[in-house]
C-alpha cells in the first residue's frame, strides 16, 4: 500500500499543492468579501442579508471543487493509460481490483484533506462573526459542491480507465448527467435532506472504475 501511495504521490504532488493553494485562495477570498461587508456595515448587516436575501457569500466556490476533482483524475490516470503503465501495474502480484481501489483511495484521501482545509478556514473565520445557525447555513450550502468534487474525481477516473474511445465518450456523457444532480438548485441548504444519499451515491461510483478495468483485462481496446 505504501508503495502504491508513494507512486501516486510522485505523479500528483505538484498538482495537489496547486489545488490546495487555489481552493484556499477562493475560500479565503470569499471570507475577505464577508470581512469587507462587516467592516463597512457591521456584522448585523451580514445577518440581515443572509436572512432576507438567502445570501451565503461563498458562491465563488460552487464549481471549484468540481474542477479540482476532475483535474486530479486526469493528472493521476492519463499517464497510466498514455504510457501503458496500467497494464504493467495490473500484472503485479497483487489483487487487481484492490490495486485500483488503493489508487482511488489515495485520490479520495488527498481530496478530503484539501477540501477539509477549506472548511477549517471558513469555520474558524465564520464562527467568530456569525451565530451557529448562520455559519452552518453557509457550510451546509457549500457541502454538496465538495461532494460533487469527490464524485467528479471517481467518474473521470472511470472515463480515463476505459480502454476504448467510444465507451469513453458514453461514460463522459453519463458522468455529466450524474454530476448535474449536484447543481439542480442554487437555494441555500437545498440539499440538506439528501446529503447522506449524495455521499453514498458518490462513493458507489467507485465501482464504475472496476468495470473499466475488467474490460481492459478482457482485451477491449481501440
Q: Please give the Cα distance from 164 to 181 (Å, whole number).
A: 26
- For residue range 87-145, list pLDDT tens digits in order: 667 677 777 788 888 999 999 999 999 999 999 999 999 998 888 888 899 999 999 99
Tell me which residue of 45, 100, 111, 49 sits closest to 217, measured CA to CA.
100
Residue 82 has pLDDT above 80, yes or no: no
Residue 146 has pLDDT above 80, yes or no: yes
| Cell representation of residue 29 | 477570498
| Cell representation of residue 18 | 496547486
Q: Please give the Cα distance from 160 to 208 (Å, whole number).
A: 11
Q: What is the pTM of this model?
A: 0.93
Q: Please give the Cα distance from 121 to 45 (Å, whole number).
A: 22
pLDDT of residue 144: 95
- For residue range 83-102, list pLDDT tens digits in order: 677 766 767 777 778 888 89
Amino acid at each position: 500500500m505504501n508503495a502504491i501511495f508513494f507512486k501516486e504521490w510522485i505523479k500528483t504532488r505538484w498538482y495537489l499543492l496547486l489545488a490546495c493553494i487555489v481552493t484556499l485562495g477562493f475560500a479565503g477570498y470569499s471570507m475577505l468579501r464577508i470581512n469587507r461587508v462587516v467592516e463597512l456595515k457591521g456584522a448585523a448587516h451580514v445577518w440581515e442579508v443572509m436572512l432576507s436575501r438567502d445570501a451565503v457569500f461563498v458562491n465563488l466556490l460552487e464549481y471549484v471543487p468540481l474542477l479540482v476533482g476532475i483535474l486530479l483524475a486526469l493528472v493521476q490516470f492519463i499517464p497510466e493509460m498514455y504510457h501503458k503503465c496500467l497494464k504493467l501495474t495490473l500484472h503485479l502480484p497483487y489483487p487487481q481490483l484492490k490495486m485500483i481501489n488503493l489508487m482511488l483511495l489515495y485520490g479520495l484521501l488527498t481530496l478530503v484533506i484539501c477540501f477539509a482545509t477549506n472548511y477549517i478556514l471558513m469555520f474558524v473565520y465564520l464562527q467568530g462573526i456569525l451565530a451557529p445557525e448562520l455559519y452552518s447555513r453557509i457550510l451546509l450550502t457549500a457541502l454538496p459542491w465538495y461532494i460533487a468534487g469527490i464524485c467528479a474525481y471517481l467518474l473521470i477516473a472511470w472515463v480515463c480507465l476505459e480502454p476504448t474511445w467510444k465507451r469513453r465518450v458514453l461514460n463522459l456523457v453519463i458522468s455529466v448527467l450524474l454530476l448535474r444532480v449536484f447543481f439542480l438548485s442554487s437555494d441555500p441548504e437545498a440539499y440538506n435532506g439528501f446529503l447522506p444519499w449524495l455521499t453514498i451515491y458518490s462513493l458507489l461510483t467507485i465501482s464504475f472504475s472496476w468495470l473499466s478495468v475488467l474490460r481492459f483485462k478482457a482485451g477491449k481496446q481501440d
